[in-house]
Chain A
Amino acid sequence: MKSFYENWLGGRDGAVGMLVLAVVIMVAFPLMFDIFRLNLIGKYLTYAFAAVGLVMVWGYGGVLSLGQGVFFGLGGYCIAMFLKLEASDLVSTQHQTTPGIPDFMDWNQLTALPAFWQPFHSLTFAIIAALVLPALFAWVIGVAMFKRRVSGVYFSIITQAVAAILTILVVGQQGYTGGINGITDLKTLHGWNINTTSAKYVLYYVNAVLLLLAIMVCRFVLTSKLGRLLLALRDKEDRVRFSGYDVASFKIFIFCLGAVISAIGGAMFTLQVGFMSPSFVGIVPSIEMVIFAAIGGRTSLIGAVYGTLLVNAGKTAFSESFPQLWLLLMGGLFIGVVMLFPNGVAGLYDGWFKPLVARWKSRRPVMVRVADPLAKSE
């Protein structure tokens, strides 16, 4: 029990953080908001998976992936393909030239389901694919890059190029992927209508639980020796290498872990929002995921969730009323967080709020703090 507390929750601080987070997303939000808003929050929380993945890859692994949307998208598309096939039964597609295939294929003059779509008739396969495909893809990229010691900005730009390539491919191969519109009109999961209010509540809670579990898995990795090794790696990579570790394999592992976590987010996105499109795969969404993690604090797993919620709430609020202003604000966020708050919300909490609480607890006179600047100015 003690080891669960220490290794999976991260000791007292981590456990308190987890508890607060769980209460906020599982009790407070459902009480405060109607199902429309809650579903929107659920959507944001799926992005939080990508941000948590980035905390691991960027914050702890030291490599900035600008292609996190690729994995988010892969997870989402796998589930979307299953749902689309279920929605494209013979009865609902009877007016098509070729009934029984997804509508966008019919529009693009396809007359049979492509071979790679076939296995997605099975939900089990789709779920496994949603987890394994992104991991495999990340593994291939990771091996190719880390074994050859590509790192730093090179790694970032290449992952960004991968995101660009995949978007162009998905958009270009309309008949196979649904093109720019993506895979839409998803209705049921094994006959269970995912668009009803009750289904949305269920999916919201499944998503919340998965997110908390993902954070716990990451916490476990970080409190293990691997976590200390990652810290060592950022400090003196050569020393780690010459202490008998295959450095590349650790970077590959953390990159794959980040990919799988993002993919879970993508899969939950598809289920909660009811479609998947290339606009969650490309350069822009991928780098926005980085800003979620950065605002939360790049080394804070829980901060990543709050960062995601904050940025998206801001985005929704502003794009409704002042769409132009939002882009300026977003740009400002990138610059501001890097220059002024490199540790994001978590940094503010640790550096400002926690000492304040500590001071309040120990009842130290606040006078001391006020007096300090005066003393300096003399």
Chain B
Amino acid sequence: MSLDKSIVLAIEDLTVSFDGFKAVDSLNLYVERNELRVIIGPNGAGKTTVLDLICGKTRSTTGSIRFKDIELTRLPEYRIVQAGVGRKFQTPSIYENLSVYENLELSYPAGRGVMGCLTFKRTETIRERIREIASMIFLDDQMETMAGLLSHGQKQWLEIGMLLIQDPELLMLDEPVAGMSVSEREKTAELLNRISAGRSVIVIEHDMEFVKRIAHKVTVLHQGKLLAEGNMESVQHNPKVVEVYLGH
């Protein structure tokens, strides 16, 4: 399966248990190139834990996670990122005491070692790239603003921008529209559709209207296990899904 060039991420038989409690239980999940996958499921289904496992924040008990034939389960976090996996956290995780520009600059994938940081220079290429990303995330007129002063929605965008500037092949977004206004949601859906071109994206989201607008394929998790998978239409009418999730 993993030899198939169209598969970017292959999760096989993945289990993690915390003192006997299995938060993720023998999960299999495959994400294709250029796919935008949405993971849904009730609270405690293990959605965030799956992202934690992929990006190395949590270590699996058994199973494998392969990203373009690189085994991620034993790699340190920064190597996973350098391999091309980017991850946005549930609550906006940005550097509040730095400006928008500096936030993006620190995320730019150059000079990541100690020496690299000491000799880092703001070249025209880097400036250009930062401006480009800033306009994508609707923050081009806020470059010098301290990130802590941005609105909640803008913070979410900034974090997405910080990932985009790394140009990851796999982008994982944990509830990207949480706390956003209706118009901000619109813009974000647009943004997601735009950035999913040329890379794979995994999104965790609760807002079903939003999911309908963006998802190529939906995966439903329940109690750490895969409950259903398919397009939004089929998942919505799946009796098992209706029972545990949409029904109540």
- Does A touch B (CB under 8 Å) in the complex? yes
If A224-B118, A228-B106, A253-B114 touch, does A245 touch B78 (CB 8 Å cutoff)? yes
A235 touches B97 (CB 8 A): yes
Q: Pick the contact of B93 from A220, A229, A239 — CB < 8 Å?
A: A239
* 18 sampled A-B residue pairs with Cβ under 8 A: A226-B117, A226-B120, A228-B102, A232-B95, A235-B98, A238-B57, A239-B93, A239-B162, A242-B55, A242-B57, A242-B77, A243-B81, A243-B106, A243-B107, A244-B112, A246-B78, A246-B112, A247-B78
A244 touches B78 (CB 8 A): yes
Give A244 to B105 CA distance when docked, in angstroms. Answer: 13
- Asked whether A225 is an interface residue with its Cβ less than 8 Å from the other chain, the reply is yes
Q: Beta-carbon contacts of A253-295 to B below 8 Å, as 1s and 0s? A: 1000000000000000000000000000000000000000000
Q: Which residue of A lies closest to B163 (CB)?
A: A243
- Asked whether B20 is an interface residue with its Cβ less than 8 Å from the other chain, the reply is no
- Asked whether B76 is an interface residue with its Cβ less than 8 Å from the other chain, the reply is yes
- Asked whether B94 is an interface residue with its Cβ less than 8 Å from the other chain, the reply is yes
Q: Beta-carbon contacts of B158-200 to A below 8 Å, as 1s and 0s? A: 0100100010000000000000000000000000000000000
B118 touches A231 (CB 8 A): no
- Asked whether B144 is an interface residue with its Cβ less than 8 Å from the other chain, the reply is no
B106 touches A232 (CB 8 A): yes
- Asked whether A236 is an interface residue with its Cβ less than 8 Å from the other chain, the reply is yes
Give A240 to B93 CA distance when docked, in angstroms. Answer: 10
Interface size on B, residues (CB 8 A): 32
Which residues of B approach A to under 8 Å, CB–CB? 55, 57, 76-78, 81-82, 86-87, 89, 93-98, 102, 105-107, 109, 111-114, 117-120, 159, 162, 166
Give A221 to B112 CA distance when docked, in angstroms. Answer: 15
B111 touches A231 (CB 8 A): no
A244 touches B109 (CB 8 A): yes
Interface size on A, residues (CB 8 A): 24
A contact patch SS: helix
Q: Pick the contact of A250 from B87, B105, B107, B114 — CB < 8 Å?
A: B114
**Which residues of A19-45 are within 8 A (CB) of B?**
none
Give A250 to B76 CA distance when docked, in angstroms. Answer: 15
Q: Which of A226, A231, A244 has the most CB of B within 10 A?
A: A244
Give A244 to B57 CA distance when docked, in angstroms. Answer: 13
List the B side residues contacting A121 at CB < 8 Å. Answer: none
Give A205 to B178 CA distance when docked, in angstroms. Answer: 60
Give A231 to B162 CA distance when docked, in angstroms. Answer: 16
- Asked whether A249 is an interface residue with its Cβ less than 8 Å from the other chain, the reply is yes
A224 touches B112 (CB 8 A): no
List the B side residues contacting A220 at CB < 8 Å. Answer: 118
Closest-CB distance, B206 to chain A (whole angstroms): 22
- Asked whether A354 is an interface residue with its Cβ less than 8 Å from the other chain, the reply is no
